[in-house]
Amino acid sequence: MKILVCIKQVPDIESNPEIRCDSLWIKEDNIAFRMNRYDEYALEEALLIKETIPGTTLDVITAGPERASSVLIKGLEKGADNAVMIICERYPLSSYETALLISNYASDNNYDIIFAGVMSEDAMQCTTGPMIASLLSIPCVVSSVKTSVDYEEKIITVESELEGGIIETVTLSIPCLITVQTGINQPRYPSLSGKMRAKGLKPSVIDGEYLKSGFNKSDYKLGYPDSNVNGVTITGTSEEKAVKLLEILHERGLLL
C-alpha cells in the first residue's frame, strides 16, 4: 500500500495578525508556524494504517515556501518514510495552484490513498483535497471521522460527517482521496527514536516555480473585520467585572 499525506504549514496565531502592506498576506515577523491541525489528524490516520498493513509506505508532501519544510520534518519524525517539498516562494498559493502542484507529483507515483485535512486553519476553504482528487480523476470523500481499509478487496469504508451530527457511510474504490476531520484519532507526538531516524532523512525538493504566477488566482485583498461589536464590554478589575456580570445575570433571574 502506498499512501501520500498532504500537509500545510500554517501561522500559529494567538492574537491579531497584522496585514502586509500589499494586503495579500500577513506580516510574518514574530510569527511561529506549525502543522495545520486537520493535517495532523490526516497524518495520524495514515500512520495507523501503516501500522496495520505491512509493507505500507507513507510519504508526506507540502507546497509552499522553504520554511514549510518544518512540517515535513515533523511528519518524518512521526514515522513517514519519505518527504516531498514543492518549493514556491510566491505565497500564498491558491488552493487550485496547490492542487495542481500536488496532483502533478502524485500522478506519476501511483498512490493507493491520498489523505488531506478537511480544511486549512488559515484559508478555511475546504477545497484543496477535492481539487487534487478531481485533477487525478479519483474518487474523494470529505470529512472522514472513521476510515476502514479492506486492502484485499481494495475497498475503503469511510464514515463521513455531515452538518447536524449526521454520519454518512460511503465506500470508495482504491485509489482515492480522503479528507480527515479532527477527533478521528489522537495524533501522536514524535518519539525519540523517530526524531533520531528523521535526522538521517531529507525531503526531496521539487521546484514549483514552473506554475505560471497568478494562475487562476483571483484579485483579492485581506482586511480586518469591521468592529461590529454591538455588545456591552464589561470593564474594571477582574473583581469589578465579576460583580457587574453577576448583577446582570441576577437581574435576568438566571442565577440560583
Partner 1 sequence: MNSSGRYKAIAVIDTIEDKILHQSLELTAFINQIYQGSTSGLLLVVTGRNIIEECRILADKSGFDIAAVEHNGFYYPNPDLLVKTLNVLHEKYRPEIFCLTNTIRNCSAVSAFSAECGLQCITGIELVSETDNGLMLQRNIFNGKLKEKIIVSAQQLAVTVNPGAFQLKQDDAHIKSETFIEKVEIDEEVSGYKPVSISESSDMESSLEDADVIIAAGRGIGKPENLQMVRDVVRIFNNAAIGASRPVCDNRWLPYRHQVGVTGKTVSPKLYMAIGISGSQQHIAGMKNSQCIVAVNMDAHAAIFSVADYIVIEDVNVFIPVFLKIYHERKR
Ligand X SMILES: Cc1cc2nc3c(=O)[nH]c(=O)nc-3n(C[C@H](O)[C@H](O)[C@H](O)COP(=O)(O)OP(=O)(O)OC[C@H]3O[C@@H](n4cnc5c(N)ncnc54)[C@H](O)[C@@H]3O)c2cc1C
Q: Which of residues 198-227 bind partner 1 (CB under 8 A)?
A: 216, 218-225
User: Binding partner of residue 54 among partner 1, ligand X, none, CB under 5 to 8 Å per kind?
Assistant: none
Taking CB under 6 A as the rule, which mask of x and - marks residues 176-195 in contact with ligand X? --------------------
Grid cell 515577523 — which residue? Answer: 29
Nearer to ligand X, 143 or 144 (CB): 143
Grid cell 478487496 — which residue? Answer: 153
In degrees and rounded to multiples of 5, residue 61 shows phi and psi of: -140, 145
126 forms part of the interface with partner 1 (CB under 8 A): yes
Nearer to ligand X, 130 or 194 (CB): 130
User: Binding partner of residue 93 among partner 1, ligand X, none, CB under 5 to 8 Å per kind?
Assistant: none
Nearest-approach distance from CB 165 to ligand X, in angstroms: 9
Q: Which residues ranging from 81 to 120 are in contact with partner 1 (CB under 8 A)?
A: 95-96, 99, 118
In degrees and rounded to multiples of 5, residue 171 shows phi and psi of: -110, 145
13 forms part of the interface with partner 1 (CB under 8 A): yes
CA 96/CA 51 separation, integer angstroms: 32
DSSP codes of every residue in 17-36: PPBPTTSSSB--TT-EEEE-
Nearest-approach distance from CB 130 to ligand X, in angstroms: 13
182 forms part of the interface with partner 1 (CB under 8 A): yes
Q: Where is 130: in which H helix or E strand?
A: helix 128-136
Q: Which residues ranging from 33 to 92 are in contact with partner 1 (CB under 8 A)?
A: none
Query: Are the C-beta atoms of 48 and 185 separated by less than 8 Å?
Result: yes
Cell numbers for 143, please give them. Answer: 470529512
Q: Exposure of 142 by Cβ count < 10 A (0-12 exposed, 13-18 middle, 19+ buried)? A: buried
Nearest Cα neighbor of 88 from 206, 215, 214, 176 is 206
10 forms part of the interface with ligand X (CB under 6 A): no
Q: Which of 68, 100, 118, 184 binds ligand X (CB under 6 A)?
A: 118
Q: Which residues bind ligand X (CB under 6 A)?
A: 118-119, 143
